[in-house]
């Protein structure tokens, strides 16, 4: 009877939260191919509008833009694309259908107690770390800080008695990029298993490096993207004086803050926050890095999507002093992705040059302020084109093991290459 009552309660109260769920009925993901300077200029102007939701945009050749449009916006912009002769194709006709299908298949996998290779919830990821810390001598955990909604930002630390230098890997700074927390979890699991089974590379790396992993840097946003709005990007702290919630944590870091590619509008997905380092998550991360100042050899932050291994900077197209060396090591990382999985479509370079300018990013801060030379941001599956590109941020869960394995391969190969 208790069970029945519980089911009834979940049904009655659950439906209230269900009603709040943001729907994307007939939202279209459109691939634009601007051909002329005018096309490029038009896209930059439209990009300023919230109704024109650019998912990715390749800047190198200006030849490829993914944009999500509501059915109303689609009616309007498809006319404009036609008038201005901008070639376009529809990658996905109904985003909601895509989400519904994914939710159904995730409901099936959720019964499994093993979260490796799936889109686990925040509390499941916490338990995964706690459990490893309790059972594996390689793993300990720490808390970098708390979020606005009071969640812990947990760090999993994988180390041996001989480790000397530190590596930071984080995931989930952007809420909707679910493939990244799944990849951090996969990484922790595989590194521990490889070490335990005597794998030579895992033994060598953990003999020297201690690896700190934050699987969900933005837990409030991550949970909200599961419970309410699938495409949520920012954190969840309300903005005084505005009805819009959240700051883009990857525009909030205190290095060249608000110098381009970010917004002062709290309603924008690229809102930089009221001031540099204003957000608890940003501050928690910076404090954690500062606590071990001078001990870090590399910082890798995982995003999706596009299949890019980005060097700094994000805030300017001027290349960092170490660019040649950083890019060469990024290429070795990509060779590792190829060796362990599917490296097809991966390229490296500075994010501002390849993608777009965005200031206040975490890897600019670790490079420019914390002095961590090997600072990178990786954009995981899918690519901007080719297989699965039409899923964008909402890559189906069954791709998570592949993303996990190839990214693991890329990172361990990269780490071996920078290890003295």
Residues 246-305, interacting with ligand ARG (CB under 6 A): 250, 303
Which partner in ligand ARG, Zn ion, none is near 320 (CB below 5 to 8 A by kind)?
none
180 makes contact with ligand ARG (CB under 6 A): no
Closer CB to ligand ARG, 336 or 361, in the complex: 361
Closer CB to ligand ARG, 222 or 310, in the complex: 310
118 makes contact with Zn ion (CB under 5 A): no
303 makes contact with Zn ion (CB under 5 A): yes
64 makes contact with ligand ARG (CB under 6 A): no
Distance separating alpha carbons of residues 168 and 166, to the nearest angstrom: 7
* Cα dist from 351 to 30, 80, 301, 307, 336, whole Å: 22, 29, 13, 12, 20
Closer CB to Zn ion, 270 or 341, in the complex: 270
Contact 295, 165 (CB under 8 A): yes
Q: Which of 281, 379, 397, 406 is catalytic?
A: 379
Using CB positions, name the residue nearest to ligand ARG: 361
Closer CB to ligand ARG, 247 or 250, in the complex: 250
Q: Which two tokens stand for residue 362?
A: 């975490």
Neighbours of 390 (CB within 10 A): 17
Which partner in Zn ion, ligand ARG, none is near 155 (CB below 5 to 8 A by kind)?
none
Which partner in ligand ARG, Zn ion, none is near 361 (CB below 5 to 8 A by kind)?
ligand ARG
314 makes contact with ligand ARG (CB under 6 A): yes
Strand order in the sheet with 53-58: 53-58, 64-69, 28-32, 88-92
Closer CB to ligand ARG, 182 or 192, in the complex: 182
* Cα dist from 359 to 56, 63, 244, 368, whole Å: 16, 23, 21, 12
Among this protein's residues, is 379 annotated catalytic?
yes
Own/partner pairs for 116-121, CB < 8 Å, 24+ apart? 116/185, 116/186, 116/189, 116/401, 116/404, 117/182, 117/186, 117/400, 117/401, 117/404, 118/182, 118/397, 118/400, 119/178, 119/181, 119/182, 119/397, 119/400, 120/181, 120/182, 120/185, 121/223, 121/226
**Pick from 55, 310, 346, 374: which binds ligand ARG (CB under 6 A)?**
310
The 3-class secondary structure across 314-355, one letter per residue, is CCCCCCCCCHHHHHHHHHHHHHHHHHHCCCCCCEEEEHHHHC
Reduced to 3 states (helix: H, G, I; strand: E, B; else coil), residue 94 is: coil
361 makes contact with ligand ARG (CB under 6 A): yes
366 makes contact with ligand ARG (CB under 6 A): no
Handedness of CA 41, 47, 51, 54 (dihedral sign): positive
Min separation Cβ 214 and ligand ARG, Å = 16
Could you give the string, one character per residue 232-251, with x where binding to ligand ARG holds by CB under 6 A and - elsewhere?
------------------x-
Measure the CA angle with vertex 183, ends 253 and 411; round to 5°. Answer: 80
Min separation Cβ 176 and Zn ion, Å = 8
Which partner in Zn ion, ligand ARG, none is near 377 (CB below 5 to 8 A by kind)?
ligand ARG
Contact 262, 248 (CB under 8 A): yes
309 makes contact with ligand ARG (CB under 6 A): no
Contact 131, 185 (CB under 8 A): no
Closer CB to Zn ion, 144 or 378, in the complex: 378
Lookup result for tokens 């770390």: 129
Which helix (H) or strand (E) segment is 49 a member of? none
Q: Which stretch binds ligand ARG (CB under 6 A): 204-212, 224-232, 324-332, 350-358?
A: 350-358
Min separation Cβ 271 and Zn ion, Å = 14
358 makes contact with ligand ARG (CB under 6 A): yes
Which partner in Zn ion, ligand ARG, none is near 358 (CB below 5 to 8 A by kind)?
ligand ARG
Closer CB to ligand ARG, 201 or 369, in the complex: 369
| Positions that interact with Zn ion (CB under 5 A) | 174, 303
| Positions that interact with ligand ARG (CB under 6 A) | 250, 303, 310, 314, 351, 355, 358, 361, 364, 377
Which amino acids are annotated catalytic?
Answer: 379
């Amino acid at each position: 009877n208790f069970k029945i009552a519980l089911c009834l309660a979940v049904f009655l109260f659950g439906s209230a939260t269900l009603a709040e769920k943001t729907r994307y009925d007939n939202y279209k993901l459109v691939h634009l191919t601007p051909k002329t300077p005018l096309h490029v200029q038009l896209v930059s102007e439209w990009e300023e509008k919230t109704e024109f939701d650019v998912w990715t945009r390749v800047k190198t050749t200006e030849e490829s833009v993914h944009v999500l449009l509501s059915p109303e916006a689609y009616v309007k912009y498809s006319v404009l694309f036609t008038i201005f002769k901008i070639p376009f194709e529809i990658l996905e006709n109904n985003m909601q259908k895509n989400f519904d299908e994914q939710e159904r298949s995730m409901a099936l996998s959720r019964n499994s107690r093993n979260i490796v290779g799936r889109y686990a919830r925040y509390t499941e990821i916490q338990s995964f770390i706690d459990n490893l810390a309790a059972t594996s001598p390689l793993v300990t955990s720490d808390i970098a800080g708390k979020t606005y909604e009071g969640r812990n930002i947990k760090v999993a630390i994988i180390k041996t008695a001989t480790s000397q230098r530190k590596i930071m890997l984080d995931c989930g700074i952007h809420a909707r990029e679910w493939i990244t927390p799944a990849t951090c979890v996969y990484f922790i699991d595989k590194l521990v298993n490889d070490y335990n089974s005597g794998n030579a590379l895992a033994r060598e790396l953990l003999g020297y490096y201690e690896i700190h992993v934050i699987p969900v840097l933005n837990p409030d946003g991550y949970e909200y993207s599961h419970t309410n709005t699938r495409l949520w990007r920012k954190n969840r702290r309300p903005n005084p004086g505005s009805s819009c919630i959240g700051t883009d944590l990857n525009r909030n870091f205190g290095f060249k803050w608000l110098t381009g590619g970010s917004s002062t509008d709290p309603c924008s997905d690229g809102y930089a926050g009221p001031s540099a380092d204003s957000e608890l998550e940003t501050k928690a991360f910076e404090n954690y890095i500062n606590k071990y100042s001078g001990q870090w050899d590399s910082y890798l932050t995982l995003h999706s999507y596009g299949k890019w291994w980005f060097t700094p900077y994000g805030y300017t197209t001027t290349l960092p002093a170490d660019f040649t060396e950083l890019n060469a090591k990024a290429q070795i990382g990509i060779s590792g992705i190829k060796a362990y999985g599917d490296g097809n479509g991966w390229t490296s370079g500075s994010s501002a040059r390849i993608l777009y300018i965005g200031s206040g990013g975490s890897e600019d801060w670790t490079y420019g302020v914390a002095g961590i030379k090997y600072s990178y941001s990786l954009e995981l599956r899918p690519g901007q084109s080719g297989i699965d590109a039409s899923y964008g941020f909402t890559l189906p869960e069954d791709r998570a093991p592949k993303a996990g394995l190839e990214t693991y391969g890329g990172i361990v190969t990269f780490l071996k290459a920078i290890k003295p």
